[in-house]
Amino acid sequence: MGGGAPAVIAGVFIGISLDGFIAREDGAIDWLTAAGDPTTGEGEDYGYQAFFDSVDALVMGRNTYELVLGFGGAWPYGKKPIIVLTTRSLEIPERIADTVETMSGPPEEVVRRLEERGMERLYIDGGRTIQAFLAAGLIQRMIISRLPILIGTGIPLFGPVPADIRLRHVDTRTYAGGIVQSEYEVIG
C-alpha cells in the first residue's frame, strides 16, 4: 500500500449504549433493537443503507456472524460479500453460501487479500474485529450511533490500543428518538 492514502478504505457503522457497550456481557443486543438499532434499517435508516451501499464487502467476526444468523428470517446483507474472520470451522447455510466465506489472519493480511480481489471499501463489524483493525491502523472512518440507554456492563466498543489514536470529528446528527450519531475520520 506504500505511501499516501491507503488503497483500501475501511469503515465502521455501529450502535452503542451511552456508556459505550455494543452488547451485554453474554453478547445479547436486546437493548439495541428495543431502542431502535441504527444498523438494521427498521424504522428510521440513520444513514445505514447509504453506508452499506458504499462498501464492497463486510468483514465481521465469528461472534457477530453467529448473532446475525441467529436472528432468523431473511439474510440482512443480500448478495454483498461477507467475510467472517475465524480460525475454526464454520457452518454456512446453503442459502447464503454464495456470499459468505471465512478467512483468518492478521488484519493487514485480510485487507491485502481482499484488495487483491478488487475490494476497495470495507465495512468492519464486531467488537474484537473493529478493535484489531483499529489497532492495526486500518480503519479510516467511524460512524457511531449512541443510543439513549445505559446498560451498566457489557462488551465495550473500544479496548486497549497500542498508542493514542487521533480522530477528526466530521459531523454529528441527532434523531427524534434520542440517538446521537457522530462521524469521525481516523487521522493517526
37 exposure class (CB count in 10 Å sphere: 0-12, 13-18, 19+): buried
Among candidate residues 150, 124, 154, the one with its CA nearest the CA of residue 35: 150
Structure confidence at residue 99 (pLDDT): 96
Structure confidence at residue 100 (pLDDT): 97
Structure confidence at residue 34 (pLDDT): 63
What is the residue extent of each domain of the chain?
A: 9-186
* Residue 121 neighbours by CB under 8 Å, 6+ apart: 8, 9, 10, 11, 54, 55, 56
- The pLDDT tens digits for 92-146 are 999 999 999 999 999 999 999 999 999 999 999 999 999 999 999 999 999 999 9
Structure confidence at residue 74 (pLDDT): 86
Structure confidence at residue 3 (pLDDT): 46
Q: Which fold has domain 9-186?
A: Dihydrofolate Reductase, subunit A (3.40.430)
Q: Are 165 and 138 in contact (CB under 8 A)?
A: no
Structure confidence at residue 41 (pLDDT): 40
pLDDT band (50, 70, 90) for residue 60: very high
- The pLDDT tens digits for 1-51 are 444 445 789 999 999 999 999 999 998 898 887 655 555 445 678 899 999
Q: Are 126 and 58 in contact (CB under 8 A)?
A: no
Structure confidence at residue 180 (pLDDT): 95
pLDDT band (50, 70, 90) for residue 71: confident
Structure confidence at residue 4 (pLDDT): 47
